[in-house]
Structure 1
Amino acid sequence: MLFPLPDTETLYRALLDRDPAYDGRAYVGVTSTGIFCRLTCPARKPKPENCRFFASVAECMSAGFRACLKCHPMAPAAEADPIVAALLKLLADRPGYRWGEQDLERMGFDPSTVRRSFKRHFGITFLEMARLERLRLGFETLGDGGRVIDAQQDAGFESPSAFRSAFSRLIGQPPGRLAENALLQAHWLPTPLGTMIAVTDERALHLLEFADRKALPGELKKLFELSRCSLGVGRLAPHAVLETQLDAYFTGRSPDFTIPLALHGSDFTRSVWEALRQIPPGAVRSYGEVASAIGRPSATRAVARANGANQIALIIPCHRVIGADGSLTGYGGGLWRKQKLIEIERQFTR
């Protein structure tokens, strides 16, 4: 829910005072510059008559303002939540630890508050995120040729059945069904916005998704069937290429991805994906504009479905598509990631 904004005079006073209570909960658009900021921005303060206040980043963008380069107002809202920030740091420090509600209580956190905060920002709870991080350790063990029992122990699961069940929910298949020397190999890639899973063959990339996306198991199951059960866990040459290009993207050095893609979709769907790739980094388009670009101006809904069916995140940039009113519409990786990706790409326009 959006924070109900107080009157303009109160907000302007908060802007002058750089009041942290409003950080991530209210924004100011400066009409004289066309830029929007957090109220805690260190830049010189505008005159009151040049200020418009908003409750969300989406409202600022729909009003035509662009993000400030000093205060980065499009950074994930989760960073402004002290509970989330503290627990994310703990998770990074102890990735293999089996976190439970009793741990949260012992540290003085209310489990229900933590659960709501993480669900609001990420769509999953802290405990689910911690479980996913432990699965990553097991995933890496399998990718290095380790046994299933070793992967289970590295992931901190006490029982084989619990590990098989958790692995199946993530990958769409139990570890025992994964093939050796498989045609397609899934590899776990860390990024500044969370872990991604990349599936490639010896030549091309078939799938790139954030590991916490709810649609991921279904997408991997389709690839499993398409490859006639030839799906495994491991690292191929295209994974190294992808890692290099993702690093260049996230560090602001290059928005270009040249890795070959294997696209699984109808002719119409692939035409939409190609149109998405034509949107320049730092720019956004509406579904209607994409429909017009492929010569099907009345197919807005079909374009939206094709956008949602994209299995290669970032490289096929479905995050660059917004609502007709300028709002940040749904994104499988989470709206907080969509905000951050748009912010990252703004630097490529300079």
Structure 2
Amino acid sequence: MAFDENRAWELVCERDSSARFFYAVATTGVFCRPDCKSRRPLRGNVQFFTSTIDAQAAGFRACKRCCPTAATSDPVGKIRTHIEANLDRSVTLSELGRVAGMSPFTVQRIFKQEMGVSPLQYQRSLRASRLRGALKQSGRVTDAIYEAGFGSSSRAYEGAQLGMTPGSFAQGGKGERIGWCSAPSPFGRVIVGATERGLCWLSLAETAEEAETSLRAEFPAAELQRDPSLSRLVDAALQMVRDGSDLSANRRLGGALDLRGTVFQLRVWQALRQIPRGETRSYSELAREMGEPKATRAVARACAMNRVALVVPCHRVVGASGSLTGYRWGVDRKRKLLEAERR
């Protein structure tokens, strides 16, 4: 999970029981609730996850002290826990209503308000996350498909949202062809990656080596080929910062983006692209503009999952007070981007 990690760490230090995420400690191999009473780890050893499934898929085990996989008392927490415990079968709204003590209609409404997706979409997302983890750990496609809760290989191909077939993902993107190009910029080293469908990766780094490493970590077995002609994509992205031009209308890009995510994530990323250069939005403002006023946290998570910096300008989202919140590519870089856009 990648979101406002600075704020998440503050909530962990405050032992905030209302925070709905989990943190894992690399040195112990366990994951906990934010309000766990155990001794606080070093910040550098901590990773954050939005669900227990994601944490387990990454190889962490549940803390025996705070029991993060146990049911919680709030309705949405109960619903999430029940869904996470029953990924191997379909869970109906009526069933979730009995678990939470409310009508199926209310279950659907409050869950979508809080999470930004329906219970069914949440289950599909968790199955996809589990499949990714199982494929990376074992590489055995058939076993991973059923371990993830998919009833058949066809359902896995339809619902996993891997951006490629499960077999290809299991092999680190083997068979996927991605051209890439790296170039310096005022905001650090920029690297772009593009499939035949369009731009799929744009990251910012301190050095050329770090930039290339980020791409190879995402697609370790893909056919990566340096393509100097893709420098036009770097130029087009930087032009967005300089003058606010719409990248989709920029001929150097050709209008093609290969964005891979859930329906809700795609909606958020599209909303981000509607924020004018020189302006910012808070997470709650963006949620309201999308017609999802109760989905602030879900919007924040989607912003953090953005793989295409600058083009999908998640740097234009700030805290409710106007303060700079976490940014996947660094808060200092976020500040420089916003300052450049205000000139």
Q: Which has the larger radius of gyration?
A: 1
The verdict on a shared fold, with TM-score over 0.5 as the criterion, is no
TM-score by length of 2: 0.43
TM-score under structure 1 length normalisation: 0.42
Higher relative contact order (CA 8 A, sep 6+): 2
